[in-house]
A and B are shown apart, each in its own frame.
Chain A
């Protein structure tokens, strides 16, 4: 398969998945009615009644949110995998999800409104990575990637311990279930205003990654080689970490902790388009958005109750990943 065709195919797949997702849900709306309502809305009209609310206030924002979350986590994962020169790295390597989880869980413990819980999640993610970066800098002048990862593991473990402590302190009848559901990840409560804010932050974080995609690609050759090619390694690394952290914190704040996507989707993309970052990034974004929409559609329509996203990404992603791995080996594209 040549490259442009792969990208066209991925884009087509994303659009197809989004259209199917818009037509599926527990509130039955016939496909024709979906098309008519979208057309009516697009031409400036208003769709009255439950159909309009379900479609434009609940389902479409959620599909969009899934796309943004999937794209963001995958892009952050791809950037980290190039940055750390290791395909087994996920966006969580520096503790961002655990930190965001801690922020949100504390919000739930104190019974704060949803918007504040999200804000605390966002702030928790940013703060955690900031502490990790500062710690690494103090220890080794910020030059060593190993120290950075180790600091991430330590701070992440601390945040994880703090989450466990909050769980023990929480009211087992009210707060503990809320905390558990939050940590498993879900887009059930997403509103259009959440999606708008998150999309803006994600775009702001994606911009530097897209702009510097060539240099990030060069980073994967190794620090010395990158330096020889005129890349300011330390500054670029700081920028990528800041951007990826911004993106991940923003999406985790509205979706809760969703594992696997940021690790697996870039790997899938790598099997499809190879390891070059300028190709890997768009492929990861397209694939991540499509994958997450598909998973979230299942989460909201497979059963009468919500299935946690974290569970589904692993259950669906695992086998797909193994299949791709087997296929990739046959064709020698690893």
Chain B
């Protein structure tokens, strides 16, 4: 029994190795690895939530499933075709929930990971590729790299036209924010604290992938990092008061609702002046979780929140257009209201 299973895997690996060169072309991924990929790709396995979101935006028909199946409240904001796709598990670093045999049984054409390019992930990609024979591509997930990342995956998947449209929109979003920032003098830029966790005392330090968007929108992240690249940190209320942020962006609905009533948060200027913004989280988070193309609309949203007079256009119209282009859904007024005003955002 076991022997047969092993033999099956061996055949599968041999099959992939034998088949791959026949109709292959090679691409260079963001880590500089040259990877041979099949000409026609129809099934893509995504290693983590950022890659899932990127794939959904570019080529939803190539999706095999989600890292975590969509929750009921998220489903109205997703295309009907992908709402019921199964949970497949994740493959990136922080505790795999995926079995390699299962991966082989599902027979993806390629595996894509979208995020930090580090030697850990590079070696993981090499190992999984060697073990399974499935081409494994790494795409740089830094926010500024979004247009290039979209173009790279679009090229790999053979959906260049759609990729170009999305990449242009990404570039336009960045350009719009730069236009707004040109009108806002340095000393008028907000000092932002990103509150995460149920108590609002977790945050990301400067340079972390979780808070990139704050710096991109011209804000100063008050959380100085201990390491150059930053990461998630735990802090204390006294420290937040000492940092004196004038703006708080939060990912936690409970925190956003309750903070105004908490006496101990009163000395924080952002709370005193009622500048606590809850980032919308449907179907994907607007400012983080996951750090992927969903942050583009988060950038527009933040620009409107931080610079209401300088930001061009109407936020609702822009959200509608983004959802139409990237997520291929048209939320009705009700859904849009729930999305944007759900928690006083």
Contact = CB atoms under 8 A, between A and B. Distances in A.
Interface of A: 25-28, 49-50, 53-54, 57-59, 62, 108, 111-114, 117, 167-168, 171-174, 176-178, 181, 186, 188-189, 191, 300, 303-306, 308
A27 B233 contact: no
A177 B202 contact: yes
B235 A53 contact: no
B69 interface: no
- Chief secondary structure at chain B's binding surface: loop
B135 interface: no
Contact of A27 (B210, B238, B291): B238
B236 interface: yes
Interface stretch (B6-14, B142-150, B259-267, B330-338): B259-267
Contacts of A308: 234
B289 A188 contact: no
State the 8 A-B residue pairs at the shortest beta-carbon distance, nearest first: A173-B289, A50-B267, A189-B199, A57-B264, A188-B236, A305-B233, A26-B242, A26-B239
B4 interface: no
Contact of A181 (B68, B94, B234, B266): B234
Contacts of A112: 198
11 contacts: A53-B267, A54-B241, A168-B97, A174-B196, A178-B202, A181-B202, A300-B236, A304-B224, A305-B234, A306-B201, A306-B239
Contact of A53 (B90, B264, B285): B264
A188 B237 contact: yes
Given A58-B237, A173-B285, A174-B196, 18 more contacts: A25-B242, A27-B241, A27-B242, A54-B267, A58-B238, A58-B264, A59-B238, A111-B253, A113-B254, A114-B198, A114-B254, A117-B198, A167-B95, A181-B197, A188-B199, A189-B236, A191-B264, A304-B239
Interface string B212-224: 0000000000011
A177 B197 contact: yes
B32 to A, nearest CB: 26
Interface in B158-209: 196-199, 201-202, 205
A114 B226 CA distance: 28
B340 interface: no
B128 interface: no
B280 interface: no
B288 interface: yes
B251 interface: yes
B241 A58 contact: yes
Given A114-B199, A168-B95, A171-B68, A50 B238 contact: no
Contacts of B298: none
A183 to B, nearest CB: 12
Interface string B89-117: 01000110100000000000000000000
A304 B289 contact: no
B205 A305 contact: yes
Contacts of B237: 58, 188-189
B65 interface: no
Contacts of B288: 173
Given A50-B267, A181-B234, A308-B234, A300 B198 contact: no
A177 B254 contact: no
A27 B238 CA distance: 6
B271 to A, nearest CB: 11
A113 B198 contact: yes
Interface in B259-279: 263-264, 266-267
Nearest to B197: A178
B223 A305 contact: yes
B269 to A, nearest CB: 10
Contacts of A26: 236, 238-239, 242
B251 A174 contact: yes
